[in-house]
Amino acid sequence: MKLSMSSLDIMICARELKNAIGARVDKVYELGGVFVICMRTSGKGRLDLLIELGRRVHLTGMQYNFPKQPTMYAMLLRKHLEGAQLVGVEQPDFERILELRFRGRGERVLIAELFGTGNLVLCDEGKKIIQPYRSEEWRHRIVKAGEKYKYPPSRADIEKLDTTTLREAVADAPDIVRGLATNLNIGGQLAEEICARAEITKSSTVADLSEPQLKGLLDAAAGLFSQEPAPNIVYDDGGVIDVLPFDFAIYRGMRTKRFSSFNEALDEYFGAVTIKKGIAKQKKKLED
């Protein structure tokens, strides 16, 4: 069961969110790392953008019981964003990151990190950090107030590789699916789908693959990234197992539900996952 959005999910979601450009921020709410930015538009009415650190970002139609007294970080976001207009939505370099640019009294960039435990980072127009939700420090980057925001170290981009550079990029992997997933940072699900579309056994080693097979992987990836959206949720007998921007070969023959937008599909799917996890947690408590 998918618990967080993939890079591909974020890419398709970001494309749809560009339709919200022009909306103005009314309020910002937060409860335990789940934020809702309430915006108003002239033609679409109210739009609520949900950001859950490390997991998801999408428009939501669900109602949430937020505390009457806003959290400190929600108050900070209100101070900087209330009345500001959404002017940009970007996903940098296929990362699990979404950048929202707002313009009001000044310009602000709100960066949602959906990898690891996640983070929300408020920056000025030059991406100098005003305040992160949580301050963090690694050898390669520092996420603290006053620092220039830096992305995590980049990896090879499958869309920019040829057969030679693809072979080099995944040469040290035990098999092709893990090479794609880890060395190219596209995740296991997307790596499996690319292998399935290219008709490559996912346990094959890179050394086993011919030039035409490597070309087949690159073509499969290119076809995947350029495919027209057909948002859906995938089910098995236990309920929801995945949400997708379009049909995946790895789920062929399984039951699906279609949606008019990917944001709508994400909203319903993660709502169901949250309920499912809550039931499992309660069951474990009873068993203990």
pLDDT for the residue numbered 275 = 76
DSSP 3-state assignment of 101? strand
Instruction: Name residue 128's amino acid.
Output: K
Tell which residue, 47, 48, 58, 53, has the closest CA to residue 13. Answer: 58
pLDDT for the residue numbered 211 = 97
Are 152 and 180 a contacting pair, CB within 8 Å?
A: no
| Beta-carbon contacts of residue 205 (< 8 Å; ≥ 6 apart) | 174, 175, 176
For CA atoms 156, 160, 164, 167, the dihedral sign is positive
pLDDT for the residue numbered 277 = 62
User: Is 0.75 surpassed by the pTM of this model?
Assistant: yes
How many residues would you count in the chain?
288
pLDDT for the residue numbered 70 = 95
pLDDT band for 278, please (50, 70, 90 cuts): low
Q: Quick one: how far is CA 199 from the chain centroid? A: 27
Angle at 100 (CA atoms; ends 95, 104), nearest 5 degrees: 160
Higher pLDDT, 275 or 170: 170
Decide if domain 158-225 falls under CATH 1.10.8: yes
Compute the distance between CA of residue 42 and CA of residue 274 in angstroms, rounded to an integer.
32
* Average pLDDT for the chain: 94
pLDDT for the residue numbered 281 = 52
pLDDT band for 56, please (50, 70, 90 cuts): very high
Are 218 and 166 a contacting pair, CB within 8 Å?
A: yes
Are 145 and 129 a contacting pair, CB within 8 Å?
A: yes
pLDDT for the residue numbered 288 = 54
Are 242 and 213 a contacting pair, CB within 8 Å?
A: no
DSSP 3-state assignment of 222? helix
pLDDT for the residue numbered 280 = 47
Instruction: Name residue 79's amino acid.
Output: K
Q: What is the DSSP string of 168-193?
A: HHTTTSSSHHHIIIIIS---HHHHHH
Say whether pLDDT at 48 is over 70: yes
Say whether pLDDT at 194 is over 60: yes
pLDDT band for 176, please (50, 70, 90 cuts): very high
Q: Where are the domains of the chain?
A: 7-143, 158-225, 232-287
The hierarchical CATH code for the domain 7-143 is: 2.30.310.10
